Amino acid sequence: MSLPQFEPEAQPPEIIDEGAVLLRGFAAASELRWIEAVQALQAQASFRVMQVPGGKSMSVAITNAGDWGWVSDLQGYRYSAVDPLTGKAWPAIPAFLHEQAVAAAAAAGCSDFAPDACLINRYQSGARMGLHRDQDEADFSAPIVSVSLGLPCTFLWGGLARQNPIKRFVLTHGDVVVWGGPSRLVFHGVSPLKDGLHHLLGSERWNLTFRMAKRRL
């Protein structure tokens, strides 16, 4: 008798909240393509820690791909066509990653998703993201597609007001979430990354978010 070989296959979609669809393991089948793509991107535009308007530094290191990249400095947050470290355009979003993000959005019911920005966050031990909402994009009717790789994290999911109660759930390697509809402007964050060892990313967690920064649905 032979047991089926384990394959990290995608699970049926789970609804987190209105407009937020979790595709567990969606990116797991092609994990090496995702990781190799991020490694190639960061060779062109390295991960860096950015300052925020208050003068503090983020604990997460970031880089970008696409026509627009999310940047922060003492002046504020915005999308920039050039990498402030080099003055050059950001690298293009690799075709496979773009296709996968569009396919994830379609699986969640959004058919015209056309991301022009991909923000890549790198978490090392203790790195976190405080409660915030993503509101620097042109069209909030377009979803954001997030892809988690490496160590798991505790994700914080609030409401449309900062004071609303917060739910916690775990995002693990290969999970893809489409955040659209009424969830698009929900406050969210990430708890400090715990020490651990992932078989591909070691002590790190990477998160990619595909966005329509300037383009409209």
Q: Point out which residues bind ligand MD3 (CB under 6 A).
A: 119, 121, 129, 134, 144, 146, 177, 179, 183-184, 186, 188, 190, 207, 209
- How far is Cα 14 from Cα 112, in angstroms, rounded to an integer? 21
- How far is Cα 22 from Cα 171, in angstroms, rounded to an integer? 9
What angle in degrees, to the nearest 10, is found between the helix axes of 31-44 and 95-107?
A: 130
Please work out the total of residues on this chain that contact Fe ion, with binding judged by CB under 5 A.
1
Residue 3 vs 23, nearer CB to ligand MD3:
23
Q: How far is the CB of 133 from ligand MD3 (least distance, A)?
A: 6
Q: How far is the CB of 180 from ligand MD3 (least distance, A)?
A: 9
Q: How far is the CB of 129 from Fe ion (least distance, A)?
A: 7
Q: How far is the CB of 123 from ligand MD3 (least distance, A)?
A: 7
Closest residue (Cβ) to Fe ion? Answer: 134
* 98, two tokens: 């773009």
Measured torsion, CA atoms of residues 30, 33, 39, 42, in degrees rounded to the nearest 10? -90
Q: How far is the CB of 202 from ligand MD3 (least distance, A)?
A: 17
Q: How far is the CB of 203 from ligand MD3 (least distance, A)?
A: 16
Q: Which helix (H) or strand (E) holds 17?
A: strand 14-17
49, 73, 94, 120 from 186: Cα distances, Å: 25, 23, 28, 20
Residue 83 makes contact with Fe ion by CB under 5 A: no
Residue 24 vs 184, nearer CB to ligand MD3:
184
The correct pick among 67, 83, 116, 134 for binding Fe ion (CB under 5 A) is: 134
Which partner from the list ligand MD3, Fe ion, none does 206 bind, CB cut-off 5 to 8 Å by kind? Answer: none
Closest residue (Cβ) to ligand MD3? Answer: 207
42, 49, 79, 149, 191 from 171: Cα distances, Å: 23, 23, 26, 9, 11
Q: What count of other Cβ atoms lies within 10 Å of the Cβ of residue 111?
A: 9
Residue 3 vs 56, nearer CB to ligand MD3:
56
Residue 10 vs 187, nearer CB to Fe ion:
187
117, 213 contact by CB (below 8 A): yes
Which partner from the list Fe ion, ligand MD3, none does 207 bind, CB cut-off 5 to 8 Å by kind? Answer: ligand MD3
* 90, two tokens: 């950001």
Residues near Fe ion, by CB under 5 A: 134
